[in-house]
Amino acid sequence: TQLLEQSPQFLSIQEGENLTVYCNSSSVFSSLQWYRQEPGEGPVLLVTVVTGGEVKKLKRLTFQFGDARKDSSLHITAAQPGDTGLYLCAGDSEGSGYALNFGKGTSLLVTP
């Protein structure tokens, strides 16, 4: 099992602030995904990154995959209360083909 370390574990900010959360591993991943989970719901896929150095944008969210495909970051610009939730990264390691390895998540609270 490849470990995915997410940081910070908790983040509480005010509306309008910027933030970055990180997902790091010592293993190489063929792809890495970010999910957001709201209370009482299952995780929902936000994005998949597959190429080292790749940057993807989803409105105010920017996702980056590290050059070596071992780490990723999620940057949120001008956070809004609707961004509140648990952000999970999940890696699909080279040749595993069956299971995702999930990080423990970053819990984000954005207050008005």
Partner 1 sequence: DADVTQTPRNRITKTGKRIMLECSQTKGHDRMYWYRQDPGLGLRLIYYSFDVKDINKGEISDGYSVSRQAQAKFSLSLESAIPNQTALYFCATSDWGTSYSSYNEQFFGPGTRLTVL
Q: Kindly list the residues in this chain that would bind partner 1 in the complex (CB under 8 A).
A: 1, 30-31, 33, 35, 40-45, 48, 50, 88, 90, 92, 97-100, 102-105
User: In the numeric block, which tokens belong to residue 49?
Assistant: 């990154």
Nearer to partner 1, 7 or 77 (CB): 7
Taking the complex as a whole, how short is the minimal distance between the CB of residue 59 and partner 1, in angstroms? 19
Taking the complex as a whole, how short is the minimal distance between the CB of residue 92 and partner 1, in angstroms? 5
Nearer to partner 1, 3 or 78 (CB): 3
Q: In sequence order, what DSSP letters do the residues of the chain get, joined into one string?
A: ----EEE-SEEEEETT--EEEEEE-SS-EEEEEEEEE-TTS--EEEEEE-STT-EEEETTEEEEE-TTSSEEEEEESS--GGG-EEEEEEEEETTT-S-PEEP--EEEEEE-
Q: In whole angstroms, what separates CA 28 from the centre of its chain?
A: 16
Taking the complex as a whole, how short is the minimal distance between the CB of residue 16 and partner 1, in angstroms? 29
Nearer to partner 1, 35 or 63 (CB): 35
Nearer to partner 1, 66 or 106 (CB): 106
